[in-house]
Amino acid sequence: MFATGRFAVVGADVSGSASPAMQNAALQAVGLPPTYEARSLLASELPVFLRRAPAEGFRGLNVTAPYKLVACDMAKFCSPLVQATGAANTWRIGQRGAEAFNTDPDGLWAMLTSCGAHSEGQRVILLGAGGAARAAAHALGQWAEGVLVVNRTAAHARALCASQMLHPANRARWQVLQLQHPGDVTALEEAFADAALVIDAVGIRSVARCAGQEARLPWRALDQRAELFDLSYGGAPSPLSIWTGRAAFDGATMLLHQGAAAFELWTERTAPLEVMRDALAARLARPANSIPMVPGAIGRFEPRLTRG
């Protein structure tokens, strides 16, 4: 049965989200009412909203920062991918209750593939250890040679690495370089010099600490051939571009494909990817061809045929 009802993106501040324009265009394209909205919620408001969402007619939710872990914990059912990552970015609400999914790995795969950055055996630096980073880690673990996780709270980074090392599909070596002594900075410089990809899943300047103080990351050591990916999107230069002084791919392609995967989970219809891409591009005031489409990424990690 096709989903009808209300849909929304929820987060701490989603006032600038491009998801409503993209998802409402998709709903209209398949003959469903455009009922997708944005809800900015305080952390204290989120549990109440999630509990009331079914009664208020919501049938699907996108969940963004910083609530992806809570969305996992509060769902009645979790997909295997959500269980593996401990984070959810999509809720489907039906007769069984709230089901949690994570379509972010599909989006990241599309982002890397469209830029020609996905190849076996690469070494990657992942900035952050929250919900977005966990989804990125799940995708990276299946093809990267090694992943260094840099995060202000080393315990969170170690937990992320441990969960990936236990996953049966993991092929990567995982490392957390805790900056406890000045000599550790040298090891960090060597890791940066070796990296083929840097993925920013946190978007803040302070992602590392040394002896209790903020630590500057060794951007000058980064190989000029390394590709830079920022999971955020928008018109302003990304934090990663500012830090490095180099161009970084932004998260528009990831947003498109994770949104398309969520749409298919909600409606059980093939997402009108081109319609969604055009609406997203118009919302971001950029050419449509600047946002690549990779249909094969949709359902790669979170199968599109998952049924309630």
Spell out the residues 6+ positions from residue 274 whose beta carbon is closer than 8 angstroms to its own: 293
Query: Quick one: how many helices (H) and strands (E) in the chain?
Result: 11, 13
Q: How far apart are the first and last CA of the chain?
A: 10
Phi, psi of 51 (to 5 degrees): -65, -35
Q: Is the backbone peptide bond immediately before 80 cis, with ω within 30 degrees of 0?
A: no
Residues with active-site annotation: 68
Structure tokens at 219: 């951007």
Q: For 127, list phi and psi in degrees, rounded to 5.
A: -95, 120
| CA dihedral sign, ordered 76, 202, 107, 49 | positive
What is the residue type of 192?
F
- How many C-beta atoms surround the C-beta of residue 235 within 10 A? 8
